[in-house]
Every structure is written in C-alpha cells, then in structure tokens.
Amino acid sequence: MHLRPICRTSCTWEPSWNFWRKARTLTIDILSQMEHLLHIEGLRRNFGTLTALDDLSFDVPAGQVVGFLGPNGAGKTTTMRAIFGLTDLDAGTITWNGTVVGQAQRRRFGYMPEERGLYPNMLVGEQLQYLGRLHGMTAIDASSATTTWLDRLGIADRIASKVEDLSHGNQQRVQLVAALLHEPEMLVLDEPLAGLDPSGIDVIGEVLTEQARSGCCVLFSSHQLDQVEDLCESVVIIDKGHLVVSGKVDDLATSGPRRLVVRIEGDRTASWAEGVAGITVSEVTGGEVRLVLDASVDSNAVLELARSTGRVTEFVFARRRLSELFREAVK
C-alpha cells in the first residue's frame, strides 16, 4: 500500500486513503463554518430628518441564537425589514453566504414580524398550508409540516380555529409556525416572546435552540433581557441606528470591572453605597444591590460598610447581567 507523509516535518506515515479522508474532513469543516452567514454591512436609512440606520454592520453566523437588542427606536425593526426587502436602504449591503440577498434567498428565510402578519378570519391549518405553498412546498409537505409544528408548539387542537379566536399567546405560536414550517436556513424574529406565559417561552426557547444547533441562523429581538440572556450565545446591541456592542454573552458578562452583589436585611434602597468613591450602583432589585467596583476598591472595606448598615445576608462577586450591559451600552 502506498504511504504518504502527513506533513513535511513529520516522520509519521499513514495509508494515502486515510490522509485524504482527513483532508476531506478538514475541508468540510472549513466549508461548514463558511456557510450560512448573514452579513450586514454599512446600512443607512433616513426617513426625512430621522436617521434610522447609521452605518450599521454586524454578522449572524449559523449554529447560535443571536439576540438583537436596543432601546425603542434604535433601528431593530428597520434592519429586519431591510433583510426582507420591505424597506429601502440609502446605502449598505446585506449578503447571505457571500451573495447579495434577493428573492431567491428570502424564500429560504423565515420571518416573524412584531405586528400580527396573519389573516384573522382564515383557519389556522389552511393559512399555514397556504403560506407553506408560497415558500415552494408541495401541498402534502405543507400539510405535514403544519401538523408537526402545531403539535410541537402545543396547539394542534386549534388547527381548525380562526386566528382571531385564539389568545394572543397562541397567535404568537401560529405566527412562529409560519416562519418555521418550510425549514428555513435563516430565522428573523421580531419580539417572538411577547405575550407568552413562562411555559410558552420555554417551548419557543427550545425550538430556537434546536434550530440553531441544526445549522440555522437565528436572529431575534426582545426587550425581555432575562430570556435573551438564557437563550442567546451572542448579542448585537444597537442604539440610534449604529452598533454599540456585539459579542458572546459569556465574554461580555465576564469582561470589565468587578461586580458585587450585596443584600442587607431590611434595606431596599442601597443608599449606603451611593456616593462612595470607586463604587457605582448598577441595579437595585428587590433589596439586592449590584455594585461595580473600581480596581482600587477593597471589597473588605465594602463589606464593613455594608455591615455598618445592617445584617448582611448576601455578599458575592457575580457576572455582569445582560440588563447591566444594555444600560451601560445605551446610556
């Protein structure tokens, strides 16, 4: 059997078929990392004197759920609409796997707008099958996918109901099914968790995670930052139409100055920490105060200050919450 060196500097030899198998695997891995990438570059959009998007650029890679965050009016919905060609751009490009996004690419995307995008008088099952056909599915495939996804989201018994007869939360579920049933390569969801009870949030969170792990790009916006922190691997935060922060949630949570969580029995204002040099009060929630400490601050001194106020029931260093990061980014 012919033998081939693995590399010039190696003295290890192996059969040539094994060498090429490894090379092929490496090539597939590299190509898979290159596939399914939404690239947004230099987006600009003005509405009269209002600048909605201001040179906005970021990427959405496959394999993770990406949270798209920002205050009201930051430009999130305008960006999402631009991905689907629903609003014109003054400048910038949106590409999918290196190709400028057009109608052919959008047929492989799933979109869930914040505003209701369903026909209220149409039956749930008929409407979803119709939307599936618009994405190029056969009637049989659209019917099968409709049944499967309605069951997955716990509303299979409402297949023959009119949309207008459903609760707000169940309408959200139906609208999510409309975005999912054609097996999209890219999911863009605008406030998908709004109006859902905790069990509904859990189910949709599981679905979004499953989609990402299967290789789908998932971009969704939400003002429910606790849920975003639990679901997302990465976040993109924009303000006034431009990017202010992006990165992995874990990296952002562990970066920056030290964070200290303190709880004092009977204290719900944390006034004891106000105005202390080197200490910034980040959040006060239900008697728990989160402090940001400068490098020069001695945590033992902070503990003594807290003890002088009352009985300390919690005193621990913690990660930076997404809500803290958000406030600091858009301050």
Q: State the pTM of this model.
A: 0.81
Q: List the structure tokens of 241.
A: 């139409």
- Residue 35 pLDDT: 58
Distance CA 116, CA 106 (A): 19
- DSSP 8-state code for residue 135: T
pLDDT attached to residue 36: 72
**In CATH, what number does 256-329 get?**
3.30.70.920
The residue among 263, 262, 259, 235 whose CA lies nearest residue 320 is 259
User: What is the bridge-based pairing of β-strands 65-69 and 217-221?
Assistant: parallel
Ranges of residues in the chain whose predicted pLDDT is under 70? 1-35
- Contact criterion met (CB below 8 Å) for 43 and 78: no
Half-sphere exposure of 171 (CA within 13 A, CB side): 20
HSE, side-chain direction, 13 A CA sphere, residue 203? 18
Query: CA-to-CA distance for 260 and 290, rounded, in angstroms?
Result: 6
pLDDT reported for residue 195: 80
Q: What is the CATH number of domain 37-252?
A: 3.40.50.300
Q: Which pLDDT value is given to residue 117?
A: 80
Per-residue model confidence (pLDDT) at position 27: 35
CA atoms within 13 A on the CB side of 135: 25
Query: Are 182 and 153 contacting, i.e. CB atoms less than 8 angstroms apart?
Result: no
Residue 238 in contact with residue 244, Cβ under 8 Å? yes
CA angle 51/53/57 to nearest 5° reads 155
